[in-house]
Structure 1
Amino acid sequence: MAPTISAGDVIPDGKLSYLDENNQKQDLSVHSLAAGKKIVIVGVPGAFTPTCSQKHVPGFIEKAEELKAKGVDEILCVSVNDHFVMKEWSKSFPENKHVKFVADGSGAYTRSLGLELDLSEKGLGIRCRRFALLVEDQKVKAANIESGGEFTVSSADDILKAL
């Protein structure tokens, strides 16, 4: 299935969740978060997976200050994992100060973007396709979406070029 979200689209609303510093579950509305702001949504197939943990997410952590300097208000890392897993994964990046790890536990938000990835044959179920979206005031300015398990167009450097 081809991705459905693209540059020029209004980002769909949806709820994502995370555990706060007191381990209390918090829900956030994508539309509320993106209203009047510039945000980056980084989608990854799974927490603790090799490319996500060693390349994709570290790039956004390393380039967060540059992204913020170019006007990015929030950087979200989303995966079809639960909020407990996302909290534990975030702890594996002690240097992180700006990337918020959020959960799309049931994959509902991923489906609304049209970015689900079926990895059932590998025993992983339905996951999120790897992507990076630049969103300004709820409108997608850049949709850098990978095909399959690739990592060629969705890096922090690719988003910096789009800014």
Structure 2
Amino acid sequence: MIQRGNPIPSVGIKLVTASGVEDTTSDAALGQGIVVLFSVPGAFTPTCHLNHLPGFLANADQLRAAGVDKIVCAAANDHHVLKAWAEASNALGKIEFLADGNGDLARALGLDKDFSQSGMGLRYARAAMIIREGVVDAVFVEDAPGVNASGAPAVLMALEAA
């Protein structure tokens, strides 16, 4: 699993923003400034949709006040699904979405998790990280169901303590 001090790997992804969808690489999308990346098992899934994403939306201004340049949500969904989720959540313009449909970045980060028993296949583990100029500064991975260690309040506390 990626750790503090590791650079973000370069993997092809689709980035969903308020201006559209662009083909890019993970290191290009996450490599400048202070970035908070949070990963979810799936767009529109109950905990992701009702707890994880809304927490980052509610705390977006506080995260930016703490120095964050960009907030990005990663999921092993295609860009069409992530765009629909971003629109349905009124998140476009506040949060960018990293579509990793094949889970290539999830595997490269060591955040891949097998949800086959639930019929969901390979997904991201629920996690968050603080990235400074393309290098991981902190990683928060949930060790139980729910949103605690990887939620916006925990990330905000870590930023304020730094």
| Structure-2 change in CA distance of 1:96 and 1:87 (3 Å) | closer
TM-score, structure 1 as length reference:
0.89
The CA distance in 2 between the partners of 1:45 and 1:90, in whole Å, is 15
State the shift of 1:10 in Å.
Answer: 1.6
Name 1:155's counterpart in structure 2.
Answer: 151
1:46 is matched by which residue type in structure 2?
G
Q: Alpha carbons of 1:50 and 1:138: their partners in 2 closer, same or farther (altered >3 Å)?
A: same
**CA distance in structure 2 between the partners assigned to 1:57 and 1:11 by the alignment:** 22
User: Which residue of the partner structure matches residue 65 of structure 1?
Assistant: 61
The CA distance in 1 between the partners of 2:144 and 2:113, in whole Å, is: 7
DSSP 3-state at the match of 2:157: helix
Farther off after superposition, 126-135 or 145-154: 145-154
Structure 2 CA distance for aligned equivalents of residues 116 and 87 of structure 1: 22
Identity, % of aligned positions: 36
Opposite residue 161 of structure 1, the aligned amino acid is M
Change (3 A) 1:95 1:129: closer
Equivalences for residues 105-144 of structure 1 within 5 A: 105-144=101-140
Residue 98 of structure 2 corresponds to residue 102 of structure 1: yes
The alignment partner of 1:39 has SS state of: strand
Q: Among 6, 9, 14, which residue is 2:11 paired with?
A: 14
* Most deviating of 96-105 and 52-61: 96-105
Q: Where do 5+ consecutive residues of structure 1 fail to align?
A: none
Q: How big is the alpha-carbon RMSD for the aligned residues of Structure 1 and Structure 2?
A: 1.8
Deviation at 1:147, TM superposition (A): 2.7
CA contact (8 A) 2:73 2:96 kept: yes
- Contact kept? 2:17, 2:95, Cα under 8 Å: no
Please list the CA deviations of residues 59-91 of structure 1 after superposition, one character each: whole Å capped at 9, or x if unmatched: 101111111111111111110000000000111
Gaps of at least 5 residues in structure 2 are none
Q: In the TM superposition, what is the alpha-carbon distance from 1:13 to its structure 2 partner?
A: 1.9
Give the TM-score normalised by the residue count of structure 2: 0.90
Deviations 1:73-111 (A, max 9, x none): 111111000000000011121265311122001100000
Structure 1 match to 2:26: 30
